[in-house]
Structure 1
Amino acid sequence: MKRNLRNAKMLIVEDNPDHWNLMKKAAEHCLAEVETVHAHSEQEALRFLQDGSLQEWELPKLILLDLYLPKRENGWQLLQQIKSMPAPFNQIPVVVLSFSNSPEDIRQVYQYGGASYLIKPTAFQDWLIYFQRLRSYWWETVTLPQMRFYL
């Protein structure tokens, strides 16, 4: 098994329950060995990350972040907060998801340190394709950093 999948945890920050359910089912199907953690708000996501500061094996190896939580300012703020945290938090790749295909949204995600920008699909079959690709790239191809605390 690829090193990325050992003790793997993925944080999904999504405020829409319907989108969360689609993502959860697709993740269960395509990434069964990855524990998926849900946060429905930026505050809940930050609380989860801060709780992980006590035990580094609790940190996610990847974060999927809905840009509009419910406003895009909420997504920008969370992305900036994660990227301004000390290591290892700021090293966790953040993939931003949105229905928006605005060039400005896309540009800002990369400007603020997002690892990727994905336009959300609408059908479950398309979510399955997304999560199969996420598995192939983020879990089986790239080498993710080991999450260690640096004191």
Structure 2
Amino acid sequence: MEKKLNILLIEDDRLEVLKFTRATSNNANNFNISHVINGKEALISLKNETPNIILLDLNMPDTNGIEFLTILKNNRTLKHIPTIVLTTSNNKKDIKECYEIGIAGYIIKPLKYEEYEEKILTVIKYWNLNEFKT
């Protein structure tokens, strides 16, 4: 029996969470999604459960995406978790900094829902095929 992909979605915007849920609803039996609203909550969540991948928004209150990434990638027991930035920011400085910290991918949220859905499902499909699941 194949293991389900466990995804941690870190997103503070309720509408973005609804959009993500809608985009993944037809394939929801292939993975489990946990959701938190900021980096601080994510760090607490990671004490109890280790996801296979993290989908991370950058612009959040409290502990933002880059602060969270820095903490995550400096943690010996958590730094292996592939983290994909899912954001509206196309700021070259943000992109460069995130890759320097150690992300697995950087996806800019498209405005068109169909494009958003395609990108999300492609990411999930890739990581579902990946042999890294623990």
- Calculate the TM-score normalised by the size of structure 1: 0.80
Residue matched to 2:47: 50
1:55 aligns with: none
Contact 1:13 1:38 in 2 (8 A): yes
Cα deviations by residue, 1:74-133 (Å, 9 ceiling, x for unpaired) = 11110111111122x211100011111111111011011111100012233222201221
1:104 aligns with 2:86: no
Which consecutive unaligned segments of at least 5 residues does structure 1 have? 53-58, 147-151
- Secondary structure class of the residue paired with 1:32: helix
Question: Unaligned 5+ residue runs, structure 2?
Answer: none
Q: Matched residues in 1 for 2:100 and 2:52: separation?
A: 21
Is 1:79 matched up with 2:69? Answer: yes
**CA distance in 2: counterparts of 1:126 and 1:31, whole angstroms:** 19
Are positions 1:143 and 2:131 aligned together? yes
Partner of 1:95: 84
* 1:119 aligned partner: 108
- Is the CA contact (8 Å cut-off) linking 1:30 and 1:128 kept in structure 2? no
Aligned-residue offset at 1:31: 4.4
- The letter for the 2-side match of 1:143 is E
What are the Cα deviations for residues 41-89 of structure 1, in whole angstroms up to 9, with x where unaligned? 111111100122xxxxxx2100000011148x711110111111122x2
Which of 33, 37, 41 is equivalent to 1:40?
37
Deviation, structure 1 residue 136: 2.8
Conserved? CA contact 2:5–2:133, under 8 Å: no
- Provide the residue aligned with 1:132 in structure 2: 121
Q: Quick one: percent identity of the two aligned structures?
A: 28
Give the superposition deviation at 1:144.
1.5
| 4+ runs deviating over 3 angstroms | none
